[in-house]
């Protein structure tokens, strides 16, 4: 797959001396949903703002569809739509007018059919004549998405698009994002809801302290870095884990009723059969068992904590 | 050239003007009418002619200038400061537009408003006093030049301002006094010699004098000098805006 965004050794140091991006290199493929994860202040928004032209890079190179964002800014910016993290709105403008403004600003002739489709897809059509200041926070978020899509971008940056929105909008948003990907739009998503990245992303990047610490396909990441757990609900409470079981990675719940075994799925043997046999030997019996896999959130927390 | 962007910004700004017509148009027209009533009629009737022109007619060009200067600064500074304040400026910064196109959109719209206001005030003035325009083409050129120059100045002010107070401090503490002391209500020749010399350091004197010349073929300073100062001011503003966009001063981090 060809690269839609190519970032090479990008750095950004703000006037106050804060180093927001340190030698960041990243390739984002055409038509993928890329989730950029990181704690607050990690550099996610700075990275997006550099690519969109809002922040000047200190050094490095960014290519959008093969064109440089500085020398070919007209071409690159016309391909990008941005939904910012905050909720800036033109308070006194109607939804329709503000979307028309966005389309024109990005060099596209008026196209009421396209805008109608966008507004309908975001359940905004009945609000098209409402001024922004009369809209709820969730609706304003939808308007920002509509504005970003008004000029039919090939790349869409969503900077925490579902922060503070209700479940319904989040689901709508996810549908819109998936549908855009199906149309070939490259979507770069930053989010604090790891569940969102887990649901939508093809690939995941983790940024911390201005450095990209990992870029991986989501499925591979979860397979490689994820852990599986077997939880056994014991017939009788267990005070201590017997020494005969010390070779297993076992944990006991506070109520002494659940015994948790963490294992690696990539190993040739999970050790489950041997554990069950050894449990019987030491006289530990259980009523029920269940397995679970660590979520992307667990992996993310582990990665970020490792960097601290 | 991104014509669609220029059109979008221009239309957006013009729509804002018509949405706030009372503040944008009626307020300056009303305040200028009051100047005519007070200075032109009430006080003016007690003042003799200046250079053969009735006092009411004499102050008309100065009052038009006063209005278009303050309105130009106010319109364009607000136009760019408000998106900065609300955060919607991100859209302009991330759009495929050059600084020249941004200027054409914002300053073009602000200058159009100023020309409309100037024309309405002139029409209003003609209801109170007899106005002659000796050099109509020069009058239009001067009007356009001053509207564009002060809109550019206001644009710089809007880019520079980091708060509402800064936005109003320059028009209130600098422009307004310079305009009042720049010959709006009197001829510089009426001042004592020392104040005449001091007045020549006030750039607004040249603008008002030049504009008045286009009406009555009579000026405090030479028309060439007035034109030179006005064009010089325009060039300084253009260069400053160019520098701001090149460096991203107070726009891009």
For A145-168, what is each residue's pLDDT tens digit?
A: 999 999 999 999 998 887 777 777
Strand partners, A233: A258, A288
Do A149 and A280 belong together in one domain?
no
Interchain pair A107, B12: CB under 8 A: no
Pick from B205, B225, B218: nearest CA to B50: B218
Q: How many angstroms away from the CA of B11 is the closest CA of chain A?
A: 9
Q: In b/e form, how buried is each residue of A231-253, taking b as 16+ CB within 10 angstroms?
A: bbebeeebeeeeeebeebebebe
Q: How many angstroms away from the CA of A292 is the closest CA of chain B?
A: 43
Structural domain boundaries, residue A272: 227-295
Please identify which residue in the block is written with the tokens 């609706």: A139
Do A134 and A240 belong together in one domain?
no
Residue A225 has pLDDT above 70, yes or no: no
Q: How many angstroms away from the CA of B91 is the closest CA of chain A?
A: 8
Alpha helices in A226-295 (DSSP H): 272-281
Residue B11 has pLDDT above 90, yes or no: yes
Pick from A12, A15, A23: nearest CA to A48: A12
Top mean pLDDT of A22-31, A36-45, A195-204, B117-126 is at: A22-31
Chain B (11-70) residues lying within 8 Å, Cβ to Cβ, of chain A: 11-12, 15-16, 19
A225, A302 contact by CB (below 8 A):
yes
Of the pLDDT bands very low, low, confident and very high (cuts 50, 70, 90), residue A306 is low
The answer as to whether A301 is a domain residue is no
| Lowest-pLDDT range of B33-37, B48-52, B167-171, B219-223 | B48-52
pLDDT (tens digit per residue) in B26-62: 887 888 888 877 877 777 677 777 777 888 888 888 8
CB of A18 less than 8 A from some CB of B: no
In this complex, the residue of A15, A53, A75 whose CB is nearest that of residue B93 is A53
Contacts of A82 in chain B (CB under 8 A): 90-91, 94
Q: Greatest CA separation found in chain A?
A: 77
pLDDT (0 to 100) of residue A294 = 64
Mean pLDDT of chain B: 87
pLDDT (0 to 100) of residue B43 = 75
In this complex, the residue of B4, B9, B16 whose CB is nearest that of residue A108 is B4
Do A218 and A259 belong together in one domain?
no
A39, A191 contact by CB (below 8 A):
no
Do A238 and A205 belong together in one domain?
no
Of the pLDDT bands very low, low, confident and very high (cuts 50, 70, 90), residue B71 is confident
Do A100 and A249 belong together in one domain?
no
Contacts of B91 in chain A (CB under 8 A): 82, 102, 105, 147
Do A215 and A238 belong together in one domain?
no
The answer as to whether A291 is a domain residue is yes
Contacts of A100 in chain B (CB under 8 A): 8
Instruction: Tell me how far apart the alpha carbons of residues B183 and A156 are, in angstroms, rounded to a whole number.
Output: 56
The answer as to whether A47 is a domain residue is yes
User: What CATH number is associated with residue A248?
Assistant: 3.30.70.100
Do A154 and A265 belong together in one domain?
no
Residue A307 has pLDDT above 80, yes or no: no
- How many residue contacts between A and B have a Cβ separation below 8 Å? 83
Instruction: Tell me how far apart the alpha carbons of residues A11 and A1 are, in angstroms, rounded to a whole number.
Output: 26
CB of B92 less than 8 A from some CB of A: yes
Please identify which residue in the block is written with the tokens 């076992």: A250
The answer as to whether A69 is a domain residue is yes
- In three-state secondary structure terms, A153 is coil
CB of B195 less than 8 A from some CB of A: no
**Which residue among A223, A245, A274 closes a domain?**
A223
B79 burial type by CB count under 10 A (0-12 exposed, 13-18 middle, 19+ buried): buried
Q: Which of A104, A140, A144, A157 to mutate to test the interface with B (most CBs of B within 10 A)?
A: A104
Interchain pair B12, A101: CB under 8 A: yes
Instruction: Tell me how far apart the alpha carbons of residues A178 and B224 are, in angstroms, rounded to a whole number.
Output: 66
Of all residues in chain B, what percent carry a pLDDT higher than 70?
99
* Boundaries of every domain in chain B: 3-247
Do A269 and A197 belong together in one domain?
no
Interchain pair B253, A55: CB under 8 A: yes
Do A138 and A278 belong together in one domain?
no
Contacts of B8 in chain A (CB under 8 A): 100-101, 103-105
In this complex, the residue of B4, B86, B252 whose CB is nearest that of residue A104 is B4
The domain total for chain A is 2
A197, A296 contact by CB (below 8 A):
yes
Interchain pair B94, A90: CB under 8 A: no
pLDDT (0 to 100) of residue A46 = 93
Do A140 and A173 belong together in one domain?
yes
**Which residue among A223, A251, A281 closes a domain?**
A223
pLDDT (0 to 100) of residue A122 = 86
Residue A293 has pLDDT above 80, yes or no: no
The answer as to whether A302 is a domain residue is no
Total-model pTM: 0.80
Do A195 and A285 belong together in one domain?
no
Of the pLDDT bands very low, low, confident and very high (cuts 50, 70, 90), residue A229 is confident
pLDDT (0 to 100) of residue A266 = 65
Residue B172 has pLDDT above 90, yes or no: no
**Which residue among A169, A189, A223 closes a domain?**
A223
The answer as to whether A307 is a domain residue is no
CB of A154 less than 8 A from some CB of B: no
User: What CATH number is associated with residue A19?
Assistant: 3.40.50.300
Mean pLDDT of chain A: 86
In this complex, the residue of B87, B88, B252 whose CB is nearest that of residue A56 is B252
Pick from B203, B204, B208, B190: nearest CA to B62: B208
pLDDT (0 to 100) of residue A248 = 86
Do A94 and A201 belong together in one domain?
yes
Closest chain B residue to the Cα of A75, Cα to Cα = B96
């Amino acid at each position: 797959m060809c690269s839609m965004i190519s970032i090479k050794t990008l750095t950004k140091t703000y006037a106050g001396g804060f180093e927001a991006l340190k030698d960041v290199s990243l390739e984002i493929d055409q038509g993928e949903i890329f989730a950029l994860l990181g704690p607050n202040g990690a550099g996610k928004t700075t990275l997006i703002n550099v690519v969109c032209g809002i922040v000047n890079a200190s050094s490095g190179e960014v290519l959008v569809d093969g064109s440089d964002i500085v020398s070919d800014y007209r071409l690159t910016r016309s391909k990008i739509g941005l939904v910012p993290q905050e909720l800036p709105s033109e308070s006194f403008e109607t939804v329709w007018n503000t979307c028309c403004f966005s389309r024109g600003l990005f060099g596209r002739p008026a196209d009421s059919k396209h805008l109608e489709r966008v507004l309908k897809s975001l359940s905004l059509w009945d609000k098209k004549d409402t001024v922004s200041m009369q809209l709820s926070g969730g609706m304003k978020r939808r308007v920002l998405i509509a504005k970003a899509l008004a000029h039919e971008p090939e790349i869409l940056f969503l900077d925490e698009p579902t922060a503070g929105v209700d479940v319904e909008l989040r689901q709508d948003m996810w549908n819109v994002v998936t549908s855009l990907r199906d149309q070939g739009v490259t979507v770069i998503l930053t989010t604090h809801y790891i569940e969102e990245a887990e649901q939508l992303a093809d690939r995941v990047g983790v940024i911390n302290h201005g450095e990209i610490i990992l870029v991986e396909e989501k499925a591979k990441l979860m397979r490689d870095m994820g852990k599986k757990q077997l939880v056994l609900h014991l017939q009788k409470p267990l005070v201590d884990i017997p020494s005969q079981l010390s070779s297993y990675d076992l944990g006991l719940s506070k109520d002494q009723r659940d015994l948790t075994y963490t294992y690696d799925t990539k190993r040739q043997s999970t050790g489950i059969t041997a554990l069950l046999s050894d449990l019987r030997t030491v006289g530990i019996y259980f009523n029920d068992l269940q397995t679970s896999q660590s979520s992307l959130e667990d992996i993310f927390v582990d990665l970020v904590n490792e960097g601290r | 050239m991104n014509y669609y962007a220029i059109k979008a910004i221009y239309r957006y700004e013009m729509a804002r003007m018509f949405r706030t017509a009372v503040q944008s148009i009626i307020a300056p027209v009303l305040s200028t009418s009051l100047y005519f009533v007070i200075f032109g009629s009430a006080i003016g009737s007690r003042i003799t002619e200046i250079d053969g022109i009735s006092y009411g007619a004499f102050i008309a060009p100065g009052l038009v200038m006063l209005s278009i200067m303050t309105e130009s600064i106010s319109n364009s500074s607000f136009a760019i400061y408000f998106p900065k304040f609300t955060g919607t400026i991100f859209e302009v910064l991330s759009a495929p537009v050059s600084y020249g196109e941004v200027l054409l959109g914002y300053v073009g719209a602000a200058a159009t408003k100023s020309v409309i206001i100037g024309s309405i005030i002139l029409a209003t003035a003609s209801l109170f006093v007899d106005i002659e325009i000796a050099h109509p083409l020069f009058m239009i050129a001067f009007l356009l030049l001053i509207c564009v120059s002060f809109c550019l100045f206001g644009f710089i002010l809007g880019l520079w301002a980091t708060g509402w107070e800064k936005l109003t401090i320059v028009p209130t503490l600098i422009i307004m006094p310079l305009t009042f002391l720049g010959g709006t209500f009197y001829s510089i020749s009426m001042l004592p010699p020392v104040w005449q010399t001091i007045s020549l350091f006030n750039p607004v004197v040249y603008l008002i004098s030049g504009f008045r010349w286009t009406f009555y073929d009579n000026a405090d300073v030479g028309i060439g000098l007035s034109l030179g100062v006005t064009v010089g001011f325009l060039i300084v503003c253009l260069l400053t805006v160019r520098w701001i966009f090149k460096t991203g001063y107070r726009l891009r981090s």
